[in-house]
DNA sequence: ATCAAACATGTCATTGTTTACATGTTTGAT
DNA sequence: ATCAAACATGTAAACAATGACATGTTTGAT
């Protein structure tokens, strides 16, 4: 699925400020940005190799301790330009945002309400945990008070991504609870 | 990315009520359920072949006009059971819900506010069009008045999927507008 | 000192998905 | 009658992504 060579640009983007190793990128995808894109280390290492060949990045070795070699990557001029162009690219259509829970739900004509509610309950738990995690992250990085307009340009991307993840999760939970109410109402009428 | 053999279950699910051809399924993915899963005809036809081999579905020919053969598929008992089991499966974790716009945004530290707003504007247009389309669909299938509790069990899946798609889109648009406000506020302070 | 968890890098086989190639029929508008 | 759009089915090459295999180092807790 998915648009063309997104991982390529995700990697170039992660290198926009600091040099990083493949391992660092793997870690990044476990943080905030991992809410919107992610890749396993196996894919990252092969993509890095390709980007080196294409001369969009260059690499050097940094020692971690006495023997452990960290391979650090930097954007080349060519890489910076390519990234810049991609960042300003406007999508001309929206792709399917896949969601297996919603797919499953679409088929649930034969499933008893009780089982249906159990599925919703499970999804609600998972989503609530995620929301809590995101709220903690937000509080940690941006404090309890409203930050908004007076942030560093540097932090703005992080701020947007976290608020987006939060609102997505809140919305999901809200819809889950509304839908559960409907199912319960229908149960009464059975 | 993505969970295991979802297309397999999407196809079995589409066959839950009526027999369908590969072409019919391709069309289904352009309707409501396409908001949450979709596949191209090439992938559908190869998956159907596989499901036949696995004896989860069986097929027969239906003539469309005088020569055009439509290959229709039905769930076998085995297929029904497999589908049923999958429908009741609870996810044990949430996967990354990829979103290229949010990814791009995360990297936008060097982009001037004007360009940033143009990107948001574009996204807002795409999302607004989609929301309108969904609202029309909703009005068409469920009328203007509040349906909710007194729907056929049959239609409930469709109802859930449409309300989910609607609320997802409304939420996206709301976040876009809030973020654009923040960018404009920051512009004033420049 | 031991040892587990985290750090660190890579390859390979398989699966999932898209794009392009390839071909033919039916319907409905003009 | 013509013709384009929609109907209809398939294959193949290339690309995207995961999971398993494979190996070794450093850090920090006990």
Rounded to an integer, what distance in angstroms lies between the CA atom of residue B48 and that of residue B59? 10
Q: A7: which nucleotide lies closest, measuring CA to C1'? A: D16
Looking at residue A70, its pLDDT comes to 97
Cβ B50 vs Cβ B12: under 8 Å: no
- Same domain membership, residue A173 and residue A107: yes
Residue A94: inside a domain: no
- Beta carbons of A157 and B109 less than 8 Å apart: yes
CB-based contacts of B45, cutoff 8 Å, min separation 6: B22
Strand C–CB B3 distance below 7 A: no
Residue with the two structure tokens 């036809």 = B45
Nearest CB to B185; choose among A6, A126, A149: A149
Between A96 and A189, the more confident residue is A96
Q: Is the pLDDT of residue A61 over 90?
A: yes
The answer to whether the CB atoms of B126 and A98 lie below 8 A apart is no
Distance in Å, alpha carbon of B103 to nearest chain A alpha carbon:
6
Same domain, A168 and A104: yes
Report residue A77 as tokens.
Answer: 């001029």
Confidence (pLDDT) at A121? 98
The per-residue pLDDT for range B52-65, each reduced to its tens digit, is 999 999 999 999 88
- Does residue B74 sit in the same domain as residue B112? no
Could you give the number of structural domains in chain A? Answer: 2
Per-residue pLDDT, B2: 41
Residue A61 lies in a domain: yes
Instruction: Say what the pLDDT of residue B146 is.
Output: 64
Residue A46 located in a structural domain: yes
Q: Is the CB of B69 under 7 A from strand D?
A: yes
CB contact (8 A) between residue B105 and residue A157: yes
**Which of B36, B63, B87 finishes a domain?**
B87
Boundary (domain end) residue, out of B56, B87, B118: B87
Q: Do B174 and A157 touch (CB under 8 A)?
A: no
In terms of Cα–Cα distance, which of B132, B22, B142, B104 is closest to A6?
Answer: B104
Which domain does B36 fall in, by range? 6-87
Q: Which of A87, A122, A140 lies at the terminal end of a domain, its last residue? A: A87
Kindly state the greatest CA–CA separation across chain B: 71
User: A149 and A76 in one domain?
Assistant: no
Distance of alpha carbon B39 from alpha carbon B77, whole angstroms: 25
User: Do A77 and A125 lie in a common domain?
Assistant: no
Co-location of A69 and A114 in the same domain: no
Straight-line distance from CA B65 to C1' C24, in Å?
A: 13
- Whether A20 maps to a domain, the answer reads yes
pLDDT exceeds cutoff 70 at A158? yes
Same domain, B184 and B106: yes
Q: Are residues A73 and A108 in the same domain?
A: no
ipTM: 0.95
Residue B173 within a domain? yes
- Above 60 in pLDDT, residue A154? yes
Of B171, B186, B175, nearest to B120 by C-alpha is B175
Q: What is the pLDDT of residue A110?
A: 78
In a domain, B126, yes or no: yes
Instruction: Report residues of chain B scoring pLDDT below 70.
Output: 1-3, 144-148, 190
Q: What is the pLDDT of residue B188?
A: 82
pLDDT digits (tens, 9 = 90+) for A75-86: 999 999 999 999
Pair type for strands B20-21 and A20-21: unpaired
Average pLDDT over every residue of A42-60? 98
**Protein chain B, residues 81-100, with a C-beta closer than 7 Å to any atom of nucleic acid strand D:** 96, 98
Residue B87 pairs in a beta bridge with none
* A108 and A63 housed in the same domain: no
- Tell me the chain A residues in contact with residue B33 when contact means C-beta distances shorter than 8 Å: 103, 106
Residues A105, A62: one domain?
A: no
Helices (H), chain A: 6-14, 22-28, 41-53, 77-87, 100-106, 113-142, 153-188
Which residue's entry shows tokens 């829970």?
A101
What's the pLDDT at A151? 84
Name every residue whose Cβ is closer than 8 Å to that of residue A35 and which is 6 or more positions away in sequence. A134, A161, A164, A165, B96, B97, B102
Q: Which residue has the tokens 């990252």?
A: A44
Say yes or no: B39 and B113 in one domain. Answer: no
CA to C1' distance (Å), from A139 to C14? 42
Burial A52-88 (b: 16+ CB within 10 A, else e): eeeebbebeeeeeeeeeebebbebbeebbebbeebbe
- B94 domain residue, yes or no: no
Query: What pLDDT is attached to residue B165?
Result: 98
Residue B1 lies in a domain: no
pLDDT tens digit string along A68-126? 999 999 999 999 999 999 999 999 999 999 999 999 999 998 789 999 999 999 999 99
Which of B176, B98, B169, B187 lies closest to A164, judged by CA?
A: B176
Residue A182, classified by CB atoms within 10 Å of its CB into exposed (0-12), middle (13-18) or buried (19+), is: middle
CA-CA-CA-CA torsion sign (B46, B51, B54, B58): negative
Paired with B68 in beta bridges are: B64
Closest nucleotide (C1' vs CA) to B47 is C16
pLDDT at A6 over 70: yes
End-to-end CA distance of chain B: 41
Residue A36 has its nearest CB partner, among B102, B127, B167, at B102
Overall average pLDDT of the A164-182 stretch: 97
Q: What is the pLDDT of residue A188?
A: 82
């Amino acid at each position: 699925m998915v648009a063309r060579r997104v991982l390529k640009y995700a990697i170039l983007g992660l290198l926009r400020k600091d040099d990083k190793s493949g391992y660092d990128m793997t870690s990044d995808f476990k943080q905030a940005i991992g809410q919107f894109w992610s890749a396993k280390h196996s894919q990252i290492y092969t993509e890095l190799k390709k980007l080196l060949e294409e001369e969009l990045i260059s690499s050097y070795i940094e020692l971690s301790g006495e023997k452990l070699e960290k391979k650090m990557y930097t954007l080349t001029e060519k890489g910076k330009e390519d990234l810049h162009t991609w960042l300003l690219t406007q999508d001309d259509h929206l792709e399917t945002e896949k969601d297996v829970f919603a797919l499953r739900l679409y088929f649930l004509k034969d499933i008893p309400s009780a089982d249906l509610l159990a599925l919703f309950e499970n999804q609600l738990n998972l989503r609530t945990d995620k929301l809590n995690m995101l709220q903690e992250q937000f509080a940690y990085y941006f404090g309890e008070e409203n930050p908004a307009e007076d942030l560093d340009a540097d932090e703005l991307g992080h701020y947007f991504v976290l608020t987006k993840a939060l609102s997505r999760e809140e919305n999901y939970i809200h819809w889950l609870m509304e839908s559960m109410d409907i199912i319960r109402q229908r149960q009464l009428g059975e």
